Amino acid sequence: MPKDPATRKVPRGARRRKQLIDVAEQMLLERGFPDTTMQMIAEAAGASKETLYRHFESKELLFAEIISRKAHQISGPDTPMARGGSPETVLSELGINLLRTIVTGEASFLFRTVVAEAARTPELGDLFYQRGPGLTVERLTQYLAEASARGELHCDDPTLAARLFLGAVVSQFHLRRLFQSTWKSPTEKEIGRHVKAAVSMFLAQFGPR
């Protein structure tokens, strides 16, 4: 009898890869991107440099994997969006997950790291956008197009609609977290209220007709 997915063992290679990502994320948060080397990450993880490079060809790709993991938590296969839930449910959970990620100290540090390094390492900015914000836009665009085809929404331009919703959710919170180090993050109640308003505004414009 096949094992339940929840109890199935994770392959050793996948566990090692996750451990390397965990260690790299912690070091990048503590030291910053320029001052963290692949050698340091390997030593902190108790691995050889060869093992690290076998999983990740460069520090930029390792950083991109950290961003991919956060995007997975926001809009990955375990979310209502991937399962084709109702628009209100999908948008509400997506908005809350996204806003929670944006206002945490760890996420804002990663954003600041990319902004500081993008001029010197353009590929880092490209990878960050493709694996993070860009991926979330793509996933939401696909969902909105499918929901419109089912008659649950009316989005003539799903990409534009996706960008408008995501912008409504994160814009001011993101800016304040980036620029105001003493800013107090919103409470769960405030997050819920903000996302509910954004969803209501979106459905008023793009709801079924």
- pLDDT tens-digit readout, 58-91: 888 888 888 877 777 776 677 777 777 899 999 9
pLDDT of residue 158: 98
pLDDT of residue 9: 47
Q: In the chain, what percentage of residues exceed pLDDT 90?
A: 40
Express the helix, strand and coil content of the chain in percent, nearest 5 each.
75, 0, 25
Q: How far apart are CA 184 and CA 181, in angstroms?
A: 9
Q: Does the pLDDT value for residue 112 go beyond 80?
A: no
Where does the chain hold its CATH 1.10.10.60 domain(s)? Answer: 1-57
Q: Report, at the CATH architecture level, how domain 1-57 is classified.
A: Orthogonal Bundle (1.10)
Model pTM score = 0.77
CATH code of domain 75-206: 1.10.357.10
- Judged by DSSP in three states, 151 sits in coil
Where does the chain hold its CATH 1.10.357.10 domain(s)? Answer: 75-206
Between 10-14, 81-85, 112-116, 205-209, the lowest mean confidence (pLDDT) is in 10-14
Q: Tokens at residue 13, please?
A: 């290679």
pLDDT of residue 76: 66
Q: Tokens at residue 163, please?
A: 């960008």
